[in-house]
Structure 1
């Protein structure tokens, strides 16, 4: 039994010395310290030995187990340090090399659509303008002939915010349409006016398949002497032709959007 343990010790240490990575180390542990290892088998066979031989062999087997476990821990430390050294070496870089350019992203499809629509109207003589998303009640409703008692305001769920000012708090709102900017432009400019106003608008409503609290809208206005409904229809027809294709059929239909 003692000779068998010495041979086991020699072969285990030799194989451990040759281990070069964590995977091989785990295989070595299973082979020499696992439940089905030769050492475990030897410990189980001590019961068949005479009493004196059992004491001597048992003590030697237990010392061998402790030595192998200590050698296993030491080898594990060595492998970890070696792995850290390799990782540090792999992280070396030459500062004189040119840097890698950052990948260029793409515009969101909504933004691409807004740009395309505005480009079309720009070629038709319209100017693109933008305005505040947090708006006064006056420009969002009153200036557009939508007073407080107007029934259309009942269907516009509005998000309100408080503006701290001298003398107290003044209520403002997240604009429910970009037409609020139209009111500002009519107030500040003189005809002729041809404008398109893209931007985000907000409605205080629950999200579902067809509703979100924020979406994009493009408003347009043309004010000049001699403008008729024919100009409106012709402008919309030309936009549809350029945006959807020359072969696209166009139909005008009355609808109501409060």
Structure 2
């Protein structure tokens, strides 16, 4: 007898017959074989291995059989289910291999075909020039230093012997971020030169100091062909025993030759900077300039003012040093005959390619 909860009539056990099970296996095998791809195979899987598949219905009918018949019926149902499952897995493996082969075939790239390998852009010339300068000074034993772009006025001015009434501290040249407040001796500014990094270096290092500080600086200039409120500088600092102007001149000669070629000459013209004494302007002689041979101003330099050394806790009676600062943007313009600084910031990807700086 069947239990009251059994929905099957003990006399109706058609799915359990050997013929029905064999037919279910054959139907599943045929359906799986006809599946053209993995998606089609997955769509028909439930018809032969799902809860309402013939083999699963046959498994549920085992409960309606007499105890003596259940064991034999269970073996036949399990054998049929295993055969269907094996057929499914076999077909799945075949279709997976075919799919992989199809991907390899359809997505194969013929590397022998001609192709346009032209780049759509390049590294910016200012970054390349910065790397070139950095590589040269690192090879000479310098360390590369970085500092914040927003500085207290003390680092940007006072420590560099630029007094409170110096013209460079007026709104005409400097972007002021925050004014001095109670409890704070100086306001905050966007650094006007990377010389402030030299102050950080002297405060945190013991001589000898050989450091290079490339970076972005800010001044309240109008944008035109030769000016920008945001530009790039590289500044060098040496503090050691016995440093003289001769060391500075030799360093700048090597610097200029690395940037502009072995035939370039330099000269130092007397000048004035609060943070160096004596001070000089560095000029570079371009014999093959497009407008004819001429001297072109490149940057400023000089011996570190003893007051700057004292402000940083270095004894000027024991140590001396030199410092120099050049515009990286200016170096790019001189090296590649760029006449308009705005070309370097317009974002035209053709610009570095036109300079031949895509390496």
For residues 115-130 of structure 1, the aligned pairs below 5 Å read 115-130=131-146
* Distance (Å, rounded) in 2 between the aligned partners of 1:126 and 1:104: 35
Give the match for residue 182 of structure 1: 198
* Distance (Å, rounded) in 1 between the aligned partners of 2:273 and 2:107: 60
Asked if the contact 1:200/1:216 (under 8 Å) is kept, the reply is yes
Give the match for residue 283 of structure 2: none
TM-aligned CA deviation for residue 234 of structure 1 = 0.6
* Distance (Å, rounded) in 2 between the aligned partners of 1:155 and 1:257: 19
TM-score, with normalisation over the residues of structure 1? 0.55
1:99-155 deviations in whole A, cap 9, x for unaligned?
9xxx68421011111111111111111111111111111100111111212344348
* Distance (Å, rounded) in 2 between the aligned partners of 1:256 and 1:143: 17
Give the direction of change, closer, same or farther, for the CA distance of 1:254–1:155 in structure 2 (3 Å limit).
Answer: farther
* Distance (Å, rounded) in 1 between the aligned partners of 2:268 and 2:245: 12
Give the match for residue 214 of structure 1: 230
* Distance (Å, rounded) in 2 between the aligned partners of 1:202 and 1:222: 24
- Larger strand percent: 2
Give the match for residue 249 of structure 2: 233
* Distance (Å, rounded) in 2 between the aligned partners of 1:198 and 1:223: 18
* Distance (Å, rounded) in 2 between the aligned partners of 1:155 and 1:135: 16
1:250 corresponds to 2:262: no
Q: Which consecutive unaligned segments of at least 5 residues does structure 1 have?
A: 1-93
For residues 1-258 of structure 1, the aligned pairs below 5 Å read 97=107, 105-154=121-170, 157-162=173-178, 171-256=187-272
SS in 2 for 1:176: coil
* Distance (Å, rounded) in 2 between the aligned partners of 1:98 and 1:134: 53
List structure 1 segments (4+ residues) > 6 angstroms apart after TM superposition.
165-168
Asked if the contact 1:156/1:176 (under 8 Å) is kept, the reply is no
TM-aligned CA deviation for residue 206 of structure 1 = 1.8
1:186-218 deviations in whole A, cap 9, x for unaligned?
111110000010000000122222211100001
* Distance (Å, rounded) in 1 between the aligned partners of 2:273 and 2:188: 23
- Larger helix percent: 1
* Distance (Å, rounded) in 2 between the aligned partners of 1:112 and 1:199: 13
* Distance (Å, rounded) in 1 between the aligned partners of 2:146 and 2:107: 44
Asked if the contact 1:161/1:172 (under 8 Å) is kept, the reply is yes
Q: Which consecutive unaligned segments of at least 5 residues does structure 2 have?
A: 1-102, 110-118, 275-359
Structural RMSD (CA): 3.2
Asked if the contact 2:168/2:174 (under 8 Å) is kept, the reply is no
